[in-house]
Structure formats: C-alpha cells, structure tokens
Structure 1
Amino acid sequence: MRSLIPGVAWLVSGVALANPQGPANASLSGGVGSLLQLLLGLLLVLGLIFAMAWLLRRVQQITPRGGQVIRLLSSQALGPRERLLLVQVGEEQLLLGLTAGRITPLHVLKTPVSLPDHQPATPEFAQRLMEALGRVPKDQS
C-alpha cells in the first residue's frame, strides 16, 4: 500500500505537467485528464481490493487451529452422497450419518476406538494396484 502512494503522486504531477499551455488546450486535456482520473480511481479501487484480500488472509492465519475440540477421526463413503463419519468431541466419539440434506447421529461409542497410525505405503501396494488394474508388472512377465 505504501508503494502505491509515491506512484499516485508521480502520476498526478505528470497530469499537471501535461498541460503547460493552460486553457488554450483545455478541451483536449480535459478529456485526457478525466480519463486519467478514471484510471487512477480504478487503480486505487483495485489496490484496495488486493490489500483487503491480503489482510483477510493474514487475519485467518492468526486464528489458532491446533486447539480444536471437534476432530474428524475417520470417514467412509457409502455412496455418491452418503458417508459415515467418526467424530471425536472432547473424550466422546460419535458415529454420524451424512447425506446431501442431513446429518444424523447414529451411535455414541461407549469405549473410544483407537485408530492405528498411518503407515507408509509398501512396495507391494504398487504390485497390488497393478493387479487390480489388470496389468502385469514388466519384471514378472
């Protein structure tokens, strides 16, 4: 924003210097002046829009996200628009049914489900994927 102010001042001084002959050329310079004024106003509005978007992103990054009380533990698709969700709220776990128009609590778990940590993909995953796709790896042909 601060870098815009010297640029705008430079353009305004250029407009004042563009009409050294005074009122003799007023009709020609009046049209150019109004066009330049319109362009400056447009640039100012666009600059404000970009400044506000930048400020909004900065403010959203400041909000703490690590201390959330509600966490999504697992999700399973049942169809194109239906899902099962395992959600933890505090110490309690809930099984929810999610459809296009509604969220339905299905079950409150008495004992929390412990989820295994993510394990990295093994080389046999690629082999299984090739088999599922119906392709045979080149080293086994």
Structure 2
Amino acid sequence: MLQNALPAVGLLVLMVLLAWALQRWKKHLPGAATPAGPTLKVLNAVVVGPQQRLLSVQVGEGPYAQCLVLGVTPGSIQALHRMPMPTPLADAGTPAPTAGASGFGARLAQQLTAHKGQGPHAPL
C-alpha cells in the first residue's frame, strides 16, 4: 500500500512546491506580472434583472479609447453598442455654464410663449 501512496504524495508535494515557487518569482517572469491585452475600466453598471446587467466599459486609453455597452448574463456576454470615447474639452480652465434659477425661468418662459395656444399636450 505504501508503494502506491508514496509516489502520489511525492507528486502532490512537487505540485505545491512548484506553485509556491511560481508565486514567489512571478514578478521576475516575463509577461507574468502584467496581464496581456488592452486596459479595461468599468464606467457604469445597471442591474436589469436578478442575473442580468448592462455595463459600459472603456477599452484602451488615449485617442484610441472605445466605450462598449455590454449585456451580461450568467451564460453570455454580448456587445450591444460600440462608440468612441468623447474627447475632453479643449479649454478645461473655463467652467461650463450652469443654469441657475434665472436660466431655467428664462427657458421656461421661452417655451411657454413659443407654444402658447397649442394646448397642454402639444409636443415641445
């Protein structure tokens, strides 16, 4: 019985030692420290059902970055839409205009005068 168990235990010890050595020296192995492929960044996730999600994912960096909308279920991942990432504003020092109460009031008055007399359910 010891004849059969001794090689099995020896093989098990060898596998554990090999796994330990690879963990210890993986930073020295080429290609083992960094994952291959483009960089991925999850931008947003929306739960649609108990096991379904919609994800927007940024793939790549710089001018070649793409945004993917993915449908994720337990059995599959499907690309629903692909679009380039929006470019940043040229002048980031200038703050974007914000609509305050007067801006909203002016816009509302403009819409009301433009559609006066068309009824409450008229399309804007």
TM-score range, shorter chain: 0.3 to 0.5
Q: Which has the higher contact order (CA 8 A, sep 6+)?
A: 2
Which structure is higher in helix share?
1
Structure label with greater radius of gyration: 1
